[in-house]
Structure formats: structure tokens, C-alpha cells
Amino acid sequence: MASNEAISATHYLYVNHDYVLRSYKTMSYSDFKTLEQINTELGIVIKDENKLYVNIEPVKLSNLFVEIMKVAFDLAIKIDTEMARQSFIVDNVLMELKRHIDISFFVGNAFNVDKSKGLTGNPDSIITNSDNQLYITSPVVILVEAKKSDLGGGYAQCIAEMEAARIFNERKANNIPIIYGVVTDGVIWRFISLHDNIAVIDSYLYNFGDGSKILGILKYFLQNSHNSVGSVITDPTDISPSI
């Protein structure tokens, strides 16, 4: 029979080995599951507002986008996976957005910013106010997370990606005042802003409709980010939602 000392030593090695494995496990954006975790681990304050962007004018859609979405939207809903909603709805929205404003966007690219904070991984979509489509450059303005359902479950992950974008821009000496986030299942779109360590979640459910309103809001985010560089904004909700 093993001695008590041997048993204790074996138990210590097992526990210590488990600790070492957990210590070396790298967190990523998808490991942020709750808003409380965002507040505790990243120090970001969470607030909610309502109907922040309802007055933004829709854009005039291209005929190409209208024709594509007649097929793509229904197809995404029928397939009913996150990948389908990203590929058939979100990606087409981003391509249409590029027709209205000079941007670059990246789908599924690695965006590893701060390993110590768990800010690593591959956001669904990254939109930058830059014309460089070869690699991600600052300023990163909008992060998009596509979900099959349970949009609320995507808030924490999206905000973690937004914080990573803030740090990324700051390191590149392009510290724009506000980072925006989007969580969507393709049908319902939810919008988040991050400014001065405060994440504001708009609780209003923005329906996709024909996409013109959603594109108008995204265009506003990019224009506002470009125009507000160097200005002082006390709160994201202080900005008048007009283009």
C-alpha cells in the first residue's frame, strides 16, 4: 500500500499539473461570455440606451445589392447557421458598404492584440477607415459578430474585440474616440459603442428590412469616426445621430 507521503506527492503533482495546464491556456475573444466578465477582467463599464440611431437616414441601395439579397437573405435563413448568415447577409452588407464609403473590411482574419488580457482570436468581421485591403491597418472602427441566435450572448465577445481595436489603434497613434460593435443574426441588428472605458449597448432591435437603414448606420459610424479624430467627446450618446 502506498504511503501517505507518496499519495500526497501524487496529489500535489496532479493538482500542480492541472494548474500549469490552466495557466498556459490562452484566452480568446470567444472566452468572454458575460458582461460581468467584461467589467471584472477588462474594467469596462456597461450601460444601456435605447433608439440611439433610429434617426439616421438610410442609404440608396445599389441595384446589384437589391438583386443579390432577394436570393441571399432567404437562403441564409433557410440554411440557418452562423456561417450562412455571415456569408450571405453580413458579407454582402459589407460589400455594399464599400460602394458607399472608402473602407477596407476583413472576414475571419486573426486579430491578436494583447495575449495577457485574452484579446486574441478571429473576429467575424473587422471594418477599418482605411483603403488598405492587404492587411489590417488602423483605425479599426467597427467589429461585427454574426450569431445564429441569442444575440445577447455575443455582446461580451464583441466588446472584447472592440477593446482590442481601441488598444490596436492607440498603439498605431490613431486613437479615435469611439469604437463601434455590431451583433447580428442577419435579421436583427444590435449596436454597441465604446468610448472612454464605457460600452453603451443600444437595446433597440434594428430590423434588417431591405438593408438600407442598417447600411446608413454603418456609414454613419465610419463618417463619425473620421470626423471626430482629435475632438473631445464626453459620452457616445452626446453625438447627434445624423449624417
The answer to whether residue 28 scores a pLDDT higher than 80 is yes
Rama region for 61: left / alpha / beta (φ>0; ψ in -120 to 50; rest): beta
pLDDT for 82-105, tens place per residue?
999 999 999 999 999 999 999 999
Instruction: Give strand pairing partners of 126.
Output: 106, 143
pLDDT for 111-130, tens place per residue?
999 999 999 999 999 999 99
Residue range 133-155: mean pLDDT, rounded: 92
- Beta carbons of 223 and 101 less than 8 angstroms apart: yes
pLDDT for 152-198, tens place per residue?
889 999 999 999 999 999 999 998 999 999 999 999 999 999 999 99
Judged on CB neighbours under 10 Å (0-12, 13-18, 19+), 184 is buried
Q: Alpha-carbon distance 184 to 151, whole Å?
A: 6
The cell for 91 is 458579407
* Helices 91-100 and 63-79, packing angle to 10 deg: 160
Q: What Å distances lie between residue 186 and 67, 84, 146, 193, CA to CA?
A: 17, 10, 7, 19
The answer to whether residue 219 scores a pLDDT higher than 90 is yes
pLDDT, greater one: 162 or 12: 162
Residue 145 in 3-state DSSP? Answer: strand
Decide: pTM greater than 0.85. Answer: no
pLDDT tier, 228 (very low <50, low <70, confident <90, very high otherwise): low
Longest dimension (CA), the chain: 81
